[in-house]
Amino acid sequence: MTERSPMLPAERARTLALASAFLRGGVAAGLGLGSLAVLVTVLWISSPYPDSGPGGALRTAAAIWLLAHGAELVRPDTLSGVPAPVGVVPLLLVAGPVWLVHRAARDAAEPEEGRPRASQTGAFCAVTAGYLLVAAGAAAYARDGSLRVVPDTLAFPVALVVAGAAAAGVWTAAGRPLGPLPSWSPLVLQEALARTLFRNRAEAACRAAAVGAAVLSGGGALLVAVALGRNAAAAQESFLMLSGDWSGRFAVLLLGAALVPNAALWGAAYGLGPGFALGTGATATPLGLTGTPAVPNFPLLAAVPAEGPAAPLNWAALAVPVVAALAVAWCTVRRAAPADAPRARAWSPRETVLVTGLAALGCGAGTALLTAVAGGPLGSGALSAFGPVWWLTGPAALVWTAAVGVPAALLLRVWRLREPGWAWRRDLPADQAGERVAEPAVREPFPAPEKKANEEAEEEAAGRPPRRWWAPWRKGGPGGGAAQEGPAPTASAEEAAPAGGAATDDAGFEPYDFLPTDPWHEKEVREARWASLKQSSGGLMADFPARVPAAPRSEEPPAEAVGREGQEDRGPTP
């Protein structure tokens, strides 16, 4: 009656979990393909002059969906009769499929209460296989359309993109750990990731590299926006010439929005120095546009600089890599010299240089990867080279970030560890590091009422707030300037104090800075406490001393023996 589902054997539960993960991968691919097919179908229906039927529209949607994964397309019908490749991937379209694969793998690898869960490797393989099965079917369906998929690109980069997104989803479900590595990985890397210090430094380098790449992309987007603003008339004319009806213009607007990340990376490559290619015979750099560009009619390409030498205003694009390098340095120094940590915990200059150099290397690698997918061929002739050259842009990003970021990181580290205004970050001198303020071994916990009243009256007369029993270490208040002396320790307390560690009354002393070192249970200290309690009781306590038990609590004598000893202490009963 209480079981919601029958108990399944372990093998069958594992099989069901893998089947569920496989189904999740197929559903993720279907959602991406279906959403794009709906958009293309709506544009086809609204077009006043469609070139083909609904089958052609769906084949075009399947080809564009595969293009979003990095596949290369071919246009067989051209004016010259030679098939023309389409290798420029709209990067905004890549976000949808990657997010769907990531989410499917994450949900398949996350544990669910009451349901079997596949292993991390099983979830990764099942989700990837389910997604790639749908991708293979879409490629076969688009084979007879106006845009055909090159079969070789289904393995690379389509399968690589899907596998990478699925691996990221499984890693997210596991909590994004930095280790341990698989058993087949090099032993040196396994030992390095086992150290917390190495993991912290590696995480700081990765974060700084990501920040540098993001700043480069943002700076490139700013350059494109400024250039489009200067050439707004040319961009508007190009937009209106491409289509005369509202459905066509809406399609051009969607394509331009999907290519905005590509344009940002083109601007970043322009600011770094290598620039970008506008065909096989033209290159645009901050120094000028050389050659004869083969530029198609498109609104975003209105931001391309004019032919000839560049103006001094174009040289301002070189500020983009400088700002990116400073961002990498600042992100590294925030971890190298934290604002809430003492100076002794700051990284050494060698560690700061090493982490900044690694961040520069990561920024260069990331920039090379992004610029490699931001461009591509758009034809077999003059447009066979179109966009940034990744093997020039990546090293340029590395050189800029390392040359500017490493000295900037060292200067920022010195500035954050400077003495003026940061006195709290100074290290203690060697002769003061081991000093400890000794507290009197015994204080009078409950002073006599008459003595306490007299002390409070004297303090009020002097204009100082009275001391409380719970804060006897406070020497003065806002209204008083003189320090108040605490109760003097007894002779036994002075004997119990260590040699060379005499009790001091320091104004900044806090009694909980360290544990008391006085022997609490020794005979002299107990007698001193007993005398203090007797004095504060006002004559209510007896004159006999405190009895020290000879045995621990677990070895106490029987109750009859305790009763006899008590009678002997109290004397004969009257």
The more confident residue out of 485 and 417 is 417
In what helix (H) or strand (E) does residue 36 lie, and over which residues does it extend? helix 10-46
Q: Please tell me which residue, 493 or 343, carries the higher pLDDT value.
A: 343
Q: Which residues of 529-561 are buried (b: 16+ CB within 10 A; e: fewer)?
A: beebeeebeeeeeeeeeeeeeeeeeeeeeeeee
If you average pLDDT over every residue of the chain, what do you get?
80
H/E element, 560? helix 559-570
Domain ranges, ordered by start, for the chain? 10-177, 196-416, 441-461+518-538
Please tell me the predicted confidence (pLDDT) of residue 539. 63
Q: 532 with 440: CB under 8 angstroms? A: no
Q: What are the residue ranges of helices labelled H in 299-389?
A: 319-336, 349-374
Confidence band for 285, pLDDT divided at 50, 70 and 90: very high
Its pTM stands at 0.72
Residue 114 pLDDT > 70, yes or no?
no
- pLDDT above 70 (res 478): no
Give the best-scoring range by mean pLDDT among 127-131, 337-341, 518-522.
Answer: 127-131
Angle, to 10 degrees, between the axis of helix 319-336 and the axis of helix 196-230? 150
**Token pair recorded at residue 46:** 């609204």
Token pair in block for residue 89 = 């991937």
| Residue count (the chain) | 574
CA–CA distance, 401 with 332 (Å, rounded to integer): 12
The per-residue pLDDT for range 346-396, each reduced to its tens digit, is 899 999 999 999 999 999 999 999 999 999 999 888 888 999 999 999 999
d(CA 78, CA 488): 104
The residue that leads in pLDDT, 308 or 441, is 308
pLDDT band for position 541 (cuts 50, 70, 90): low
Bridge partners, 78 (sequence order): none
Better pLDDT: 546 or 241: 241
Phi, psi of 564 (to 5 degrees): -65, -40
Across the range 407-418, mean pLDDT stands at: 92
160-203: pLDDT as tens digits: 999 999 999 999 998 888 777 777 778 887 777 778 888 889 99
Residue 387 gets the label, from left (phi > 0), alpha (psi -120 to 50) or beta, of: left
| Helices marked H in 417-468 | 430-433, 449-461
Give the mean pLDDT of 93-110: 95
The pLDDT assigned to 29 comes to 97
> Which pLDDT value is given to residue 328?
97
Q: Transcribe 481-527 into DSSP letters.
A: -SPPPPPPPPHHHHHHSPTT------TT--TTSS---S-TTSHHHHH
Stronger pLDDT, 495 or 306, i.e. the higher one: 306
Q: Can you tell me which residue has the tokens 């003595």?
A: 451
- Counting other chains too, the contacts that 397-400 makes at CB distance below 8 Å and 24 or more residues apart are 397/212, 397/213, 397/216, 397/272, 397/321, 397/324, 397/363, 397/364, 397/367, 397/368, 398/360, 398/361, 398/363, 398/364, 399/364, 400/272, 400/321, 400/322, 400/324, 400/325
Q: Using the predicted structure, report yes or no on whether residue 473 has a pLDDT greater than 60.
A: no
- How many other CB atoms are there within 10 angstroms of residue 140's CB atom? 12
| Rounded Cα–Cα distance for residues 279 and 413 (Å) | 45
For 22-65, what is each residue's pLDDT tens digit?
999 999 999 999 999 999 999 999 988 877 889 999 999 999 99
